[in-house]
Amino acid sequence: MYPATISKIGKVTQIKKKKYSKSEMKEQRSIRKYQQLLIKNIQIILRTKPYSMQNGLIKNYYFLNSG
């Protein structure tokens, strides 16, 4: 669960892992979860009919902000 930073030195590729504190890890996880939710909701909105677009957007907005 560490994002790796890859740096090339000549022909040798070094991978440095960034260490996160527990609170940072939790934050990263919640950000990812939120982004996935957002993507899922946007996909749902795009599948709905054009006339219910506004309504869907508003519903999803409240849904996202209630969490």
Would you state the pLDDT for residue 60? 56
**CA–CA separation, 16 and 46 (whole Å):** 39
For 3-56, give the DSSP string.
-EEEEEETTEEEEEEPP--HHHHHHHHHHHHHHHHHHHHHHHHHHS-GGGHHHH
Q: What is the pLDDT of residue 59?
A: 59
Tell me which amino acid residue 18 is. Answer: K
Which pTM value belongs to this model? 0.36
Contact 4, 20 (CB under 8 A): no
18-64 tens-digit pLDDT: 777 888 888 888 888 888 888 888 777 777 655 555 555 555 555 55
**Is the Cα dihedral 26, 28, 32, 38 positive or negative?**
positive
